[in-house]
Amino acid sequence: MSRAQDRRLARQVVVRRLLVLDRAGTLTSVHVGIAPEAAGVSVRTVWRWLARAREGHVEPVYRRGGFTLDDVLWARLEQLGGNVAELHRELGRAGDESPLEGRLPSLATMHRAVREQLRAGRVLGTTHPRQSHVDPDRYDRALAELALPGTVDEAGRQMTAPPALEPGHVL
């Protein structure tokens, strides 16, 4: 499984679990605060995902027809620590050896493309969510309620992954 597929799967699992709690009326900000740790994104991104999922859109949506970074460019951006300007300079120096099809987009276009892909849920491997203080009991209870793969329940038993759903299926 590629890293991009891992990211999409993490998004789907997190969003579906949050939707279950939301529909049951038990969703709290602690749940949403835990989810970024599992998906490797910011809390704001998880709230955005949840808002879109409430409208029936679980999959990420990218701008149509605009420039986007493919997996090769995204991996290089991660190696550069998220430095879009350095990636742009490298692509400019590469000339005919560039992995881009067509001409090099402007630096502003590359920044916009990265911002949009991050907003849509793509994870930049150099990004780490902020840590804040949460009461450990409340955190453990919320983590057990989310039942994300690799977590444990309140009794300390290893949780299993929720059953796989077909793509496009919304709980």
What residue spans define the domains of the chain?
A: 3-61+127-146, 71-119
Per-residue model confidence (pLDDT) at position 83: 92
Q: What pTM did the predictor assign?
A: 0.43
State which amino acid sits at residue 35: A
For residues 155 and 130, the model is more confident at 155
For residues 40 and 77, the model is more confident at 77
Per-residue model confidence (pLDDT) at position 1: 52
pLDDT surpasses 60 at 80:
yes
Per-residue model confidence (pLDDT) at position 59: 67
pLDDT per position as a tens digit, 102-147: 788 889 989 988 888 887 777 787 655 555 566 677 777 776 777 6
Per-residue model confidence (pLDDT) at position 6: 63
Cβ count near 126 (within 10 Å): 12
pLDDT surpasses 60 at 170:
no
Per-residue model confidence (pLDDT) at position 132: 59
pLDDT per position as a tens digit, 2-61: 565 566 667 778 888 888 888 888 888 888 888 777 777 788 888 888 888 888 876 666
pLDDT surpasses 50 at 171:
no
pLDDT surpasses 60 at 160:
no
pLDDT surpasses 70 at 149:
no
